[in-house]
Amino acid sequence: MHTSPDPDPPQTTVERVLVLFALLDEAMPVVERLRFPEVPSPEHRLPQRHWAGRVGTVEVTVVANGRDRRCGSDRVGTDAATLAAWTSIRSFAPDLVLNAGTCGGFEARGASVGTIYLSHGNLLFHDRRIPLDHFALQAAGRWPSAHAPNLAAAIGARPGVVSTGNSLDFLPGELEFFAREQVCAKDMEACSIAQVCALAGVPFVAVKAVTDLVDHPEPVQDAFLRNLRTVTALLGERLDAGLRWLGAHPRRLSEL
């Protein structure tokens, strides 16, 4: 079984793009900018929500994890992201998957609220601890991101290492991991989606906008809530620009 996408044939053209979000608050700014209608979910037993439309030459499907019917809150974390990625790839057969959303950033690596990163290199898991032989790579993740400097320029994003965990906050010991790996964006879904994309052979990139600073004394939840609306509006604007660049004329994957 392949564990990373096959080498990109130069003639492969991006015709279908899947954009995955965790939070409805993250998804709605770009949905509203693109004026996409909501469409029925192909997985009626799941709470995922879908919008679809055309941006120039590309068909775009936007998916949000939806609300947890039991808890009444948005479904977040690696389990919801993995499920949404697998079912959406199976249903829509995209040529490219984007995972967009918010993240924690790091002052030490030049971030401020509103900084936007596009994933670079391998995506990581920072809170998987499996001290057994032969499990180190599975714990760390290290699933690949597509090289997409032109898309990053169109979005106005910096390249950066993205690391994923299942908590909004962090443990003190994880700071050493973030520093050692030069992590720029800490989120709750990207590496799990990258894994699904790699197994499915679909190119993947994450686009993450900073709402809070991990290495700042303010509690991350306070900064996240205060900055969420402003940052997601900015993310919607930048994603709109990136999708319009993709759809301006037929783009090969090798042009990303």
- The candidate with the shortest Cα–Cα distance to 150, out of 210, 89, 205, is 205
Q: Of 59, 79, 212, 255, which residue is the catalytic one?
A: 212
Contact 234, 209 (CB under 8 A): yes
Give dist(CA 165, CA 187) in Å, integer. Answer: 6
CA within 13 Å, CB half, 88: 34
Q: Which band of pLDDT confidence, cut at 50, 70 and 90, is reported for residue 44?
A: confident
Q: How many residues does the chain have?
A: 256
**What is the per-residue pLDDT for 88?**
97
**What is the per-residue pLDDT for 12?**
85
Q: Give burial (CB, 10 Å; 0-12/13-18/19+) of 134.
A: exposed
Residue linked to tokens 């979005």: 155
Give dist(CA 186, CA 61) in Å, integer. Answer: 25
Hey, what are 36's tokens?
């996409």
| Residue-wise pLDDT tens digits, 185-234 | 999 999 999 999 999 999 999 999 999 999 999 999 999 999 999 999 99
| Residue-wise pLDDT tens digits, 45-104 | 999 999 999 999 999 999 999 999 899 999 999 999 999 999 999 999 999 999 999 999
Contact 247, 58 (CB under 8 A): yes
| Ranges of each domain in the chain | 16-249
Residue linked to tokens 């994933």: 119
Contact 190, 162 (CB under 8 A): yes
Whether 212 sits among the annotated catalytic residues: the reply is: yes
Q: Of 26, 74, 187, 189, which residue is the catalytic one?
A: 26
E strand or H helix at 221: helix 220-246
Return the CATH number of the domain spanning residue range 16-249. Answer: 3.40.50.1580
Hey, what are 251's tokens?
């783009």
Give dist(CA 195, CA 78) in Å, integer. Answer: 11
* pLDDT, average across residues 27-47: 95
Q: Say if strands 158-164 and 122-125 run parallel, antiparallel, or are unpaired.
A: parallel
Whether 95 sits among the annotated catalytic residues: the reply is: no
Cα 253 from chain centre = 18
Whole-structure pTM value = 0.94
Handedness of CA 210, 228, 244, 100 (dihedral sign): positive
